[in-house]
Structure 1
Amino acid sequence: MPETATFYPSPVGTILIQSTGEFISGLLFINEDELQKVEDKLSITPADNDVLLHKCRQQLSEYFEGTRRTFDLPLQQNGTGFQQKVWWALTQIPFGQTINYMELSKRTGNTKAIRAVGTTNGKNQLSIVVPCHRVIGSNGTLTGYSGGLWRKQWLLEHEAKIAHGLQMLF
């Protein structure tokens, strides 16, 4: 089945939501200068015309409003068994908490795979819902985020404020 897509205007910029009809297959930040090119390339569907796209937009709205901490969406992203294991481990990081790449490596069962874990984290196509933004450097600093470090900081501060009443993390 061909993918359908819609845009979601979030507080941290436009998010492209892609659906196969059965699964959410992409949640990607799109910079304003890329919008037209993406729109021309994909079948952009009004969210109300696709139940899954509508459900995803609704859950993202709840997340940004501070009323949703976990997502209930059928997800699918292609990857190796190792990558699937890393992405699953990301979904186990509690809302409002962070871990470092070494801890993520431990959770996947191979502390020697720390670089592969970092690379896989960066290949996550399901931003926010598979919360790769919750992984930080071992010294507690923000490191790498395909959506930009400013978005990562915003998302972490948003979650911390809701979970713990904190105003600033970094």
Structure 2
Amino acid sequence: MITDDDTLFAALIARDPSYEGFAYVGVKTTGIFCRLTCPARKPKRSNTVFFGSCEAAQEAGFRPCLRCRPFDRQRVPNGALEILREKIRAEPERKWSAADVRALGYDPSTARRAFQREYGVTFAQYARSQRLGYAVTRLLRGGSVMDAQLDAGYESGSGFRDAITRLIGDAPARASERPILTAQWLDTPIGAMVAIADGTGLHLLEFAERAALPAEIARLRKRVGPICFGRSPFLDELSRQVERYFSGRSASFDVPVVQRGSPFETGVWEALRQIPLGSTRSYGEIARLIGRPDAPRAVARANGANQVAVIVPCHRVIGADGSLTGYGGKLWRKKWLLEHERRMAVQAVAPSGRAEQAELALESPAP
């Protein structure tokens, strides 16, 4: 990652999130250091100094900003989003109203925007998805349609049936007769992800902002079966592994992946998983690796068709000239993931007691 001061100042002005966790700005006039994404008013160029870590900024005499909280590992969430999300999880069967949101001290429009920005759905849609997931769980455990309907907060039986049909693709009376895919939101420092799995393994893991996500979910529902939001031991374990990855503690994933594709696509996806942490490959190199040197464009299409982000690391594939090419989760996330993994790789090989060398290596430009 380029770390000259002019580039970092431009990133500061743009509030570029791809430097999140990798660069910090100290403001000489206030003695405070911030994330580059801090919403505070931007300082003059002459009043800034940049650091590669919070510790370096603190050692230089700067205090952490109380607004963007640079020492927090996770991205600072919107206060309304964080509290309301936990309230929904604690009471998934509740039918939330605007009055309930106001009673918690938040404006309903603020809640709507926060959820739309983080998850791609409004607060009401998020709450309804959790409520419907709770209702489907009751059906799967042998509860009656009427009980599930009331739990979901629907007074009209036809309204409940329509909503649940849109969610899982079948009438609720038949829900217990078909395999159910369970969906769950996962929070990361670079945005929310949605995971979808069943008892056999993980079918989808994508960033919520991916433009192709609705089509991918529709295709998955058609290929495998209906989907509802809920909790499962499998997804809870996935959530723990994703958290360890984003915190830099482990890049190892042992959850089974069961996404379906053509023999060519599955060959490409397997090749992606062989790219070492901290490294990249070009489409042409992947094509040669799978014995199809004439098919770099087909490799690019298969790379784009991958529905299990991070675990099947399609972000590690770049252009032949070293440029960051298209990424469904947005290029700034691809840049962030590559830098994050480069640092994890350096830390993994650093000899015991040689922390200074590791720190120096972290400051060198990425290959």
TM-score (norm 1): 0.89
User: What one-letter code is carried by the residue in structure 1 that aligns with 2:252?
Assistant: T
> Which one has more relative contact order, counting CA pairs under 8 Å at least 6 apart?
1
- Say what the alpha-carbon RMSD is for the aligned residues: 2.2
Paired residues, number: 163
Residues 122-143 of structure 1, C-alpha deviations (whole Å, 9 max, x = no match): 0100000000000011111100
Aligned to 1:117: 299
Aligned to 1:69: 251
Give me the whole-angstrom Cα distance separating, in 2, the residues matched to 1:65 and 1:103.
30
Give me the whole-angstrom Cα distance separating, in 1, the residues matched to 2:324 and 2:209.
21
* Correspondences of 1:123-142 after superposition (within 5 Å): 123-142=305-324
Structure 1 residue matching 2:229: 3-state secondary structure: coil
Q: Is the 8 A contact 1:8 1:14 kept in 2?
A: yes
User: What one-letter code is carried by the residue in structure 2 that aligns with 1:27?
Assistant: L
TM-score (norm 2): 0.42
Aligned to 1:27: 205
Structure 2 residue matching 1:17: 3-state secondary structure: strand
Q: Is the 8 A contact 1:134 1:156 kept in 2?
A: yes
Aligned to 1:79: 261
* Correspondences of 1:89-128 after superposition (within 5 Å): 89-128=271-310
* 1:67 CA drift (Å): 1.3
User: What one-letter code is carried by the residue in structure 2 that aligns with 1:154?
Assistant: W
Say if 2:362 is the partner of 1:166. yes
Q: Is the 8 A contact 2:209 2:329 kept in 1?
A: no
Give me the whole-angstrom Cα distance separating, in 1, the residues matched to 2:254 and 2:276.
15
Give me the whole-angstrom Cα distance separating, in 2, the residues matched to 1:162 and 1:92.
17
Structure 1 residue matching 2:194: 3-state secondary structure: strand
Q: Is the 8 A contact 2:203 2:257 kept in 1?
A: yes
* 1:162 CA drift (Å): 1.5
Give me the whole-angstrom Cα distance separating, in 1, the residues matched to 2:230 and 2:337.
27
Give me the whole-angstrom Cα distance separating, in 1, the residues matched to 2:201 and 2:277.
22
User: What one-letter code is carried by the residue in structure 2 that aligns with 1:88?
Assistant: E
* 1:85 CA drift (Å): 0.3
User: What one-letter code is carried by the residue in structure 1 that aligns with 2:229?
Assistant: I
Aligned to 2:237: 55
Match of 2:337 among 131, 152, 155: 155
Q: Percent identity?
A: 40
Match of 2:228 among 37, 43, 49: 43
* 1:43 CA drift (Å): 1.1
* 1:163 CA drift (Å): 1.1
Structure 1 residue matching 2:298: 3-state secondary structure: helix
Give me the whole-angstrom Cα distance separating, in 2, the residues matched to 1:142 and 1:65.
23
Give me the whole-angstrom Cα distance separating, in 2, the residues matched to 1:42 and 1:13.
22
Q: Is the 8 A contact 2:271 2:286 kept in 1?
A: yes
* 1:148 CA drift (Å): 0.6
User: What one-letter code is carried by the residue in structure 2 that aligns with 1:13?
Assistant: G
User: What one-letter code is carried by the residue in structure 2 that aligns with 1:22?
Assistant: T
Gaps of at least 5 residues in structure 2 are 1-178, 211-216, 218-225, 347-360
Give me the whole-angstrom Cα distance separating, in 1, the residues matched to 2:209 and 2:227.
16
* 1:42 CA drift (Å): 4.5
Match of 1:4 among 182, 185, 188: 182
User: What one-letter code is carried by the residue in structure 2 that aligns with 1:123?
Assistant: A
Gaps of at least 5 residues in structure 1 are 33-37
Q: Is the 8 A contact 2:197 2:235 kept in 1?
A: yes
* 1:70 CA drift (Å): 2.2
Moved over 6 A (4+): none
* 1:2 CA drift (Å): 1.6
